[in-house]
Structure 1
Amino acid sequence: QHSPEMLTIPSPPKSGTCALGAEAMISMSTTFTASSTHGGVPTDAVIASTDNIYFYVNTALLAGLSTNGFDGLLPPRDRSLDGLPLSRAKDASDVLNIVLHAVHNMSPAAYAPTLATLVAALERIPVYGLSPARLAGPSSALYAALLSQAPLAPLTVYAAAARCGLNDLATVVSPYLLPLQLSSLTDGQAEAMGAIYLKWLFLLHKQRVDAMKGILAQAPYPHVETDACTFADQKKVARAWQLAAAYLVSEARPDLPPSTIESTVNSLMTSVTCEGCKDALRKRMQKAVVEWTMVPVREHVLEIASKEASGKLPSELSSQSLEPGPTRMEDIKDVIQRFPAPPSAQPEDMEELPLLSAGPSRQPIILVECTDSWARTKASSRPVATRCGSLHHPRRTRLSRTDSNEARRQQRYSEAEQALAESLRAPDPSTPEAQTQALRKTASLLQALSEDSGEAARHFRAVIAARDLHGPPLRAAKRERWLLEHRQRQCVEQAARLERGAPPASPAPTRRQVNLARFLEASGHR
């Protein structure tokens, strides 16, 4: 650190005295000299630091910015050796120099002040009746000086901004706090930044980690089934993605570099032979990297406070899990909103979302977009809004009692005729040939499922034996292996029973069911 450069000059003789004696010497700042005109006004007073360094200032300029007369230093009550009004401050020259630079919005970079000096000057600004938000705002020189120290000591700058209520500075500094381990915060550091900014820091870390969970929750989209790569093979790729996602989530931190996601997914591609699966993994990885880089690394503390007050900030964001569970409508909406995948070209044989019916007897057909396919859904019979904004109900014609009975009779006859035709076309399931064919088909399906489960279980056993997984990924792999082995045993047992001609084993009745059956048999009121 370089202290403010001082000029030592002889003082002029006092009025009414003789200049024959030894001349007194004074030290003054090289920036705030007697001839300086900062702000376009001349100097008319002197403020001396505790180490007796003179700073020549303009009293009207300081009085216009201060609310307490610059800590009671204005108007000056003493006289300096050069005859100007003099006041003595309670700060050293390095701190007072930064405060006066901030008052005149001048950069103190020429003096290379340390971060401790900048923070001390920032905390002394309110003592002099000055506004930190005005002197250390985003367009001020002091703001730039503090921001230049943020990469080296972000926590110190963040705590100083929190104590002075500098929300803009705290917001800009917050990205440098992403590598910080929150468990390493001491009680003194937490008290220095205050409860609001401490909570904001915790929320910033939590939202980043929860965003990573949401980004990796969706598995790659499957491609069209081929002879070389069936849907069962693509499920293995999806399970591998889930294991990689579990590993990344277990190692997730707010400053996770995108290269970690790329290297983890690239390690999966080495064991994938299908080019379609590789392309799906590559596209899913690129999407995850882009979404992770677009997650905001900072958010204004006032915006978070307003969201929390209005209820828009979720109280628990970590409820999303990679473990299997029931699908909720909120999860479906979130996936559709986060991963839109419109088809490249609309099929030619489909209409363009006709929302209005052509007549009262025809219901509208709505085309619902579902990632890679189109699903047709009939709209419910509800009033349809017309162009004029009114509700249009299908016109209903009044039928007499005879006409309505005849219409119902005709409808029952048509339904019975259709059911009879379908029963004649369909094979009779009660015949031995149909039963044998159904048993063979079921046994073949069970055999195929058993082989797929066995192959997947062998893959997980190899992964576990390699000892490359630790922690949550290892537990997830063991759980998946156990489920696959259990499924394989069940398929083998059911297939063996079918081959012997016995029906599939039904689950044993529970104790409650047995007691209920006994009660119904013994009861006289059925």
Structure 2
Amino acid sequence: MSISSPLTPSSDIFSPNLSVSSTFYLGSHRSSDSDVVFRSMDSALFHVNSNDLASVSSTAFRAQISKPRARGDLDEVIDIPDNSDVLSIILCVLYDVPCEGRSPSFNDLEKAIDRMTAYGVIPKAHILPSTHIQALLLLHALEEPLMLYTLAAHYILDDLATSTSAHLLSLSLYDITDDISTRMGPIYLKRLMILHMQRTRLLKRLLIPPPDSHQPTRTCGYAEQNKVSASWTMVAVSLLWSAGPGM
């Protein structure tokens, strides 16, 4: 998350120890009236509009925004038990805006998605193919394919899992620990195993048949062609026997 310099003291919520989000500042985004102020554990303020949140999710932060407040009353903040990186990502998902500043790490993204349900946010309803968050997650597909696929599987994010699976062809199935398989769940674990088995079957289908024979010539008669076919089969079987991820 990118945050601005500390705010100038002017009311109860303004303190030299507080900073304000450069993405969710007073009057940002859809509404000019920010009627809710969240404060993260590391003392960053996030100004949002309750109607904006309700328009994208009827349950998002509903438990936290429970106390009626006067229009424009910003003197009371709502403390959120997460750091500013996590809170910023969750709010960016709800508003479907890019995460400003440095690109969040995969660990921060995963933690934020895991924390969404604590605030009434359903990941499957907001992490969609056309959203900024899905594009951001896919940036980590090359370096963290297994963990991203596992995250997508856990929350049944089918499009994200499918897009990530292309980067799992070099994965050794031995890298899947008990914890990962439990989080992934049986359905997506089976899909991953089928992907690898189908790849091996396709390789067999391509390699096993020897080259087509041709009319005998003076330098390559039937005997020579039979030798080539036998050698081809021997090499193909050897390759298939040792075939593994990344081949």
Residue 249 of structure 1 deviates from its aligned partner by 0.8
Decide whether the 8 Å contact of 1:59 with 1:75 is kept in 2.
Answer: no
Residue 187 of structure 1 deviates from its aligned partner by 0.8
Residue 60 of structure 1 deviates from its aligned partner by 0.7
| 1:146 to 2:137 alignment | yes
DSSP-derived class of the 2:97 partner: coil
Residue 101 of structure 1 deviates from its aligned partner by 0.9
Sequence identity percentage: 33
| 1:104 to 2:95 alignment | yes
Q: Which residue of 1 aligns with 2:47?
A: 56
Q: Which residue of 2 aligns with 1:30?
A: 22
Residue 109 of structure 1 deviates from its aligned partner by 5.3
Q: Which residue of 2 aligns with 1:131?
A: 122
- 1:167-197 deviation per Cα after TM superposition (whole angstroms, max 9, x unaligned): 1111111121111111232111111211111
Decide whether the 8 Å contact of 1:4 with 1:93 is kept in 2.
Answer: no
What amino acid maps onto 2:24 in structure 1? F
Which consecutive residues of structure 1, in runs of 5 or more, have no partner in the other structure?
15-22, 257-526
Instruction: Give the whole-Å Cα distance in 2 for the aligned partners of 1:54 and 1:109.
Output: 15
Q: Which residue of 1 aligns with 2:159?
A: 168
Instruction: Give the whole-Å Cα distance in 1 for the aligned partners of 2:90 and 2:228.
Output: 62
**Residues 204 and 24 of structure 1: is their aligned pair in 2 closer, same or farther, counting only changes over 3 Å?**
closer
| 1:12 to 2:10 alignment | yes
Residue 73 of structure 1 deviates from its aligned partner by 1.2
Decide whether the 8 Å contact of 1:76 with 1:86 is kept in 2.
Answer: no
Decide whether the 8 Å contact of 1:53 with 1:93 is kept in 2.
Answer: yes
DSSP-derived class of the 1:111 partner: coil
- 1:460-516 deviation per Cα after TM superposition (whole angstroms, max 9, x unaligned): xxxxxxxxxxxxxxxxxxxxxxxxxxxxxxxxxxxxxxxxxxxxxxxxxxxxxxxxx
- 1:117-174 deviation per Cα after TM superposition (whole angstroms, max 9, x unaligned): 0111112223322232342111111111111011111111111111111111111111
Residue 221 of structure 1 deviates from its aligned partner by 1.1
What amino acid maps onto 2:231 in structure 1? A
Report the TM-score, using the length of structure 2 for normalisation.
Answer: 0.89
Decide whether the 8 Å contact of 1:8 with 1:28 is kept in 2.
Answer: yes
Aligned length: 243
| 1:42 to 2:40 alignment | no
Structure ranking higher in helix proportion: 1
Superposed, 1:334-353 pairs within 5 Å as none
Instruction: Give the whole-Å Cα distance in 1 for the aligned partners of 2:63 and 2:152.
Output: 26
Q: Which residue of 2 aligns with 1:242?
A: 233
Q: Which residue of 2 aligns with 1:217?
A: 208
Superposed, 1:232-381 pairs within 5 Å as 232-256=223-247
Report which stretch shifted further, 139-148 or 85-94: 85-94
Q: Which residue of 2 aligns with 1:490?
A: none
| 1:156 to 2:141 alignment | no
DSSP-derived class of the 2:19 partner: strand
Instruction: Give the whole-Å Cα distance in 2 for the aligned partners of 1:69 and 1:122.
Output: 13
Residue 78 of structure 1 deviates from its aligned partner by 7.5
- Relative contact order, CA 8 A, sep 6+: which one is greater? 2
Instruction: Give the whole-Å Cα distance in 1 for the aligned partners of 2:199 and 2:141.
Output: 21
Q: Which residue of 2 aligns with 1:67?
A: 58
Instruction: Give the whole-Å Cα distance in 1 for the aligned partners of 2:194 and 2:54.
Output: 41
What amino acid maps onto 1:152 in structure 2? E
Decide whether the 8 Å contact of 2:3 with 2:19 is kept in 1.
Answer: no
Decide whether the 8 Å contact of 1:28 with 1:54 is kept in 2.
Answer: yes
Residue 49 of structure 1 deviates from its aligned partner by 1.3
What amino acid maps onto 1:33 in structure 2? Y
Report the TM-score, using the length of structure 1 for normalisation.
Answer: 0.44
Which consecutive residues of structure 2, in runs of 5 or more, have no partner in the other structure?
none
Instruction: Give the whole-Å Cα distance in 1 for the aligned partners of 2:164 and 2:60.
Output: 33
Residue 216 of structure 1 deviates from its aligned partner by 1.4
